[in-house]
A = this chain, B = another copy of it.
Amino acid sequence: MGTEHVVPHVGRLLVLLPGLGAVTTTFLAGVEAIRRKLAFPFGSLSQLGELEGEGRRIAEALPLAPLEDLVFATWDIFPEDAYEAARQAKVLSERDLAAVEDFLRTIRPMPAVFDPQYVRRLNGPHVKQAPTKRHLAEALCEDIQGALEATGAKRAVMIWCASTEVHCTPAPCHQSLQAFEVALEKNDPAIAPSQIYAYAALRMGVPYANGAPNLSADIPALEELAELNRVPIAGKDFKTGQTFLKTALAPALRRRLLGVQGWFSVNILGNRDGWVLEDEGSFRAKEVTKTGVLETLLPAERYPELYGGLYHKVRIHYYPPRGDAKESWDAIDIIGWMGYPMQIKVNFQCRDSILAAPVVLDLALFLDLAHRAQRSGVQSWLSFYFKSPHVQRGEVVEHDLFVQYERLQQELRSFAALPPLWGVDSATTQRVFQ
């Protein structure tokens, strides 16, 4: 039992965050509050969880970067510092923000790469101007280099926490690194801002995770670059509220072999994210990631009698009175013995950024660890954190929260040079539960 193949943590880890909105500011304020012993890291597996089978905390068993060594840099389309941005986001109380105001004031966003064609409901003044997307990518690389130097960090990770871009399907320029770089040069409209960030990160050898539902690093061009530069990537769309519960409940229904006839999911939220999702293009991106989860969890082709008629619909509505405190409501129609119908309703009164912030933390620390453990390319063992897990070509997507958890633990154990605990079916790459 050892961790010899993981490069030890030394110095500082720079966390790069495109988007200084509700999620980012909540993450930043929380990390600092925890460092000051003002808060407890609720919701963070990296801080609280145990390595399964070992009876030890993950943080003890593995050389994760400690919170004390985290430093930060962000980009945003508004120039306000993290304290002002946090106040506008209205996630944390004035009192909680006051306790870390000095820290938050020090975090000022760099000008963003932004394109209102991709987020049609937002616009802001704090935006980079450049003749081509290649120039924008280079400007981001310089930003990263500058942030590393300014903070004295030797390593970085980037977590996309900005708004949902419109839904797109992969274009020809996404199919290879070469095509992508030509397209950058040509200012191809098919290249989204989030892809320029991802490209810049990977060019700089910085691991990248995408917390939003739009296409970003999950295109062949950037997968190629990730492998080329030996950098891990992960995505996409943080699994936090309704989908988190859905991927716990559907597996339970599946294990009991109950039929599922319908699943209606509605969300109301009033934050900037809700505003953006009122746009049909952005909603479409989210709809795709949110509705995809049931297809593999409740496979109709395998159990036509149970799931053949499953009608799954997801809707998101902007509802300002709630702000960040969004609410979801699921109506699930199930079928039992003798075909008798039953219903489950779930009402989740959650908080978007409160659930996302510890996911940002875990992803930053685990991606950095994976990087030091010489992993590169798509890290599907991080599926636990995503609505629409980015997997290797040909790999089956796993949505089952509990299987995702086991995979995550398995991989963490491997970082600690511990033998596997589950699913040791060496003959197949597919997970046994599938």
Cβ distance A387 to chain B, nearest Cβ, rounded Å: 14
Asked whether A256 and B244 contact (CB < 8 A) given A321-B261, A346-B345, the answer is yes
CA distance A39 to B219 in the complex (A): 46
Q: Does A128 contact B (CB under 8 A)?
A: no
Q: Which residue of B lies closest to A96 (CB)?
A: B338
A343 contacts B349, CB within 8 Å? yes
Instruction: List the B side residues contacting A401 at CB < 8 Å.
Output: 252, 255
Question: A249 touches which one: B249, B305, B337 (CB < 8 A)?
Answer: B249
Instruction: List the B side residues contacting A421 at CB < 8 Å.
Output: 422-425, 432
Interface residues of A in 261-316 (CB under 8 A from B): 261-262, 264, 266, 268, 303, 305-306, 309, 311, 313, 315
**Surface stretch bound by B, among A71-79, A210-218, A328-336:** A328-336
Cβ distance A349 to chain B, nearest Cβ, rounded Å: 4
Cβ distance A43 to chain B, nearest Cβ, rounded Å: 5
Chain A interface, >50% SS class: mixed
Q: Does A107 contact B (CB under 8 A)?
A: no
Instruction: List the B side residues contacting A26 at CB < 8 Å.
Output: 337-338
B357 contacts A349, CB within 8 Å? no
Cβ distance A26 to chain B, nearest Cβ, rounded Å: 7
B252 contacts A92, CB within 8 Å? no
Q: Does A53 contact B (CB under 8 A)?
A: yes
CA distance A357 to B95 in the complex (A): 27
A338 contacts B424, CB within 8 Å? no
**Surface stretch bound by B, among A5-13, A44-52, A368-376:** A44-52
Q: Does A350 contact B (CB under 8 A)?
A: yes
Question: A258 touches which one: B30, B42, B252, B268 (CB < 8 A)?
Answer: B42
Cβ distance A28 to chain B, nearest Cβ, rounded Å: 11
A52 contacts B245, CB within 8 Å? no
Instruction: List the B side residues contacting A41 at CB < 8 Å.
Output: 337
Q: Does A103 contact B (CB under 8 A)?
A: no
Q: Does A63 contact B (CB under 8 A)?
A: no
Q: Does A61 contact B (CB under 8 A)?
A: no
Question: A251 touches which one: B39, B49, B342, B402 (CB < 8 A)?
Answer: B402
Instruction: List the B side residues contacting A235 at CB < 8 Å.
Output: none
CA distance A161 to B33 in the complex (A): 41
A264 contacts B342, CB within 8 Å? no
Q: Does A66 contact B (CB under 8 A)?
A: no
B348 contacts A347, CB within 8 Å? no
CA distance A384 to B252 in the complex (A): 11
Q: Which residue of B lies closest to A328 (CB)?
A: B344
Instruction: List the B side residues contacting A382 at CB < 8 Å.
Output: none
Q: Does A320 contact B (CB under 8 A)?
A: yes
A322 contacts B257, CB within 8 Å? no
Instruction: List the B side residues contacting A44 at CB < 8 Å.
Output: 257, 337
Interface residues of A in 44-101 (CB under 8 A from B): 44-45, 47-49, 52-53, 92, 95-96
B268 contacts A264, CB within 8 Å? yes
Instruction: List the B side residues contacting A95 at CB < 8 Å.
Output: 95
Cβ distance A361 to chain B, nearest Cβ, rounded Å: 9
Most B Cβ at <10 Å: residue of A29, A43, A346, A432: A43
CA distance A261 to B40 in the complex (A): 15
B425 contacts A53, CB within 8 Å? yes
Q: A44-B257, A264-B317 are in contact. List 7 more A-B contacts (CB 8 A).
A: A39-B338, A40-B305, A266-B329, A319-B331, A321-B333, A402-B402, A421-B424
For the complex of A and B, 3 pairs with smallest distance between CB atoms: A262-B321, A248-B252, A53-B432
